[in-house]
Amino acid sequence: MTTAAYQGEPGSNSATAALALYPEVGELPCTSFEQALDAVTLGDADIAVIPVDNSAAGRVADVHHLLPESGLFIVAEYFLPISFDLMGVPGATLDQVQCVRSHVHALGQFRKVLREGGWRTLVCDDTAGAAREVAELGDPRHAALAPPAAAGLYGLQVLRAGVEDDPDNTTRFVVLSRDAVLVPHSKEPTMTSLFFSVRNIPSALYKALGGFASSGVNLTKIESYQMGAGFNPCRFYVEIEGHPNEESVALALHELRFFSTEVRILGVYHAHPRRQKN
């Protein structure tokens, strides 16, 4: 049986994504993203299911710093529609709520309902963990913003359902494995993820990316981040539409390598159907 590591507790969105991708999966809940990635590296899990960005709150902090150092490879992506309920202990009412608990990334997706309620917030390690904490407290003054499945798991009562600010709220997850499994070149829509660091010369980034423009390759994401202390050159994370074996992508990557000190393919995988809808 495949074992999937994820950050969070049973009932979290990461757990939901893992079970949607692999219904017969064995779960390995982890307290942090780093622990989930290490579980795959050390062989305690076969894959890690990790959120990378959310349509409302943006990229998930720390993930892009961890991916290049993990030595793992992206083998799939998954778009999960996000729905959260406000839940409290049985018998509680909205009027009694004074404090709402959830993960920091989740709290940023529910500013409207939090502002309307006038509640103070408390950051937890995980959304489902927030539900567990509320259940353990047994205090009607405390509520949790958590996925619907968490209410049943922890015996809570839904005080208000579907409280997300954006009804199209979606989180994108990637699946990481120890082995690079590059999908074959075909007519199927394909994504390629990679990291690169440019040479320390004038206009290096402009020149490095020029090959994608001249070859007609679409960049769907580019992010920069600093690695280590001091003022080291930035590393860039890029996602493109296409397969490295396509002539246009191969030409773009050739030009990228000429102006870079490092280019590393992190994954070549099928594009999720959600991309076609967008």
Q: Of the listed 33, 73, 173, 259, which one is catalytic?
A: 173
Let me know if 220 is a catalytic residue.
no
HEC per residue, the chain:
CCEEEEECCCCCHHHHHHHHHCCCCEEEEECCHHHHHHHHHCCCCCEEEEEEEECCCEECCCHHHHHHHHCCEEEEEEEEECCCEEEECCCCCHHHCCEEEEEHHHHCCCHHHHHHHCCEEEEECCHHHHHHHHHHHCCCCEEEEECHHHHHHHCCEEEECCCCCCCCCEEEEEEEECCCCCCCCCCCCEEEEEEEEECCCCCHHHHHHHHHHHCCCCEEEEEEECCCCCCCCCEEEEEEECCCCCHHHHHHHHHHHHCEEEEEEEEEEECCHHHHHC
Look up 73 and say whether it is catalytic: no
Catalytic residue among 171, 190, 196, 236: 171
Q: Which residues are catalytic?
A: 171, 173
